[in-house]
Chain A
């Protein structure tokens, strides 16, 4: 009986790590793609920065729509906290530690950067901005 319990616990642990490792692999692939784009935009570019991502996340912008001046308008100042859309709906935390599936689906990533960069900044985000953002959130 005891062996069974231990085996089950072990299996659950392995499964948990396997799932998060898979998510990590998919997130890494997305970052690699942004890195190659960033290098195309600027051949001297070397690496994404969590610090720049943090500043970008908290920055107040003026080029976008008046109701959404910052990422934090909906995601709050705390990446580990639940956010709220302007329509009152809860948003899962943007931090990867709180929502491990964040930044693992390239289509979702493209959709949300596409929409939110336009809403907040009034333009597309650069590959550097997107890579910095994901790098920051991956460590949160």
Chain B
């Protein structure tokens, strides 16, 4: 019993550090499929509700491409993103992303969020143009566990 309590204490104290830069993986199949068709399905905790609302309202003109969806799947994806957005999320990393925006301009790209910028300031320009990376949207090129919400491997 004492052993169990010890274990529980160890686990609970270890948790905060372990939880850092870790986001809950996406649990909605429609979100994984539709967002993931063109880019990694980014965890909704990276952006606040207001950003997701705007993105999901402007899919026909989505960062230079048409990403339209019929209304039913659009709504399902939007609901999931809004419910799990950083500013309403329990995720600590998500809250940090949302908080870093403060009163600044509303980001439409995760790469515009101040916390993202800060976390990537040491990445050299050469790395971004590497053919294996190609785009800042290609998280998995460097963060192998990104699809599972693991970003600790930098």
B61 to chain A: closest residue by CB: A65
**Given A87-B38, A88-B39, A89-B38, A68 and B134 contact (CB-CB distance below 8 Å):** no
| A114 interface residue per 8 A CB criterion | yes
Partner of A89, one of B65, B70, B138: B138
| A118 interface residue per 8 A CB criterion | yes
In A80-94, which residues have CB < 8 Å from any B CB? 84-89
Total contacts A to B, CB within 8 angstroms?
Answer: 49
A87 to B58, CA, bound (A): 18
**Given A87-B38, A89-B39, A68 and B64 contact (CB-CB distance below 8 Å):** yes
| A116 interface residue per 8 A CB criterion | yes
Main secondary structure of the interface of B (DSSP, over half): loop
| B133 interface residue per 8 A CB criterion | yes
Chain B interface size range: 10 to 19
Partner of A85, one of B38, B60, B66: B38
In A96-112, which residues have CB < 8 Å from any B CB? 107, 111
**Given A67-B64, A68-B64, A87 and B69 contact (CB-CB distance below 8 Å):** no
A85 to B135, CA, bound (A): 10
| B108 interface residue per 8 A CB criterion | no
| B90 interface residue per 8 A CB criterion | no
B interface, CB within 8 angstroms of A: 36, 38-40, 60, 64-70, 133-135, 137-138, 141
A interface, CB within 8 angstroms of B: 65-68, 84-89, 107, 111, 114-116, 118-119
Selected A-B contacts with CB under 8 Å, 24 pairs: A65-B65, A65-B66, A68-B64, A68-B65, A84-B134, A86-B38, A86-B135, A87-B40, A87-B135, A88-B134, A88-B141, A89-B38, A89-B39, A89-B138, A111-B68, A114-B66, A115-B65, A115-B66, A115-B67, A115-B68, A116-B66, A118-B60, A118-B68, A119-B66
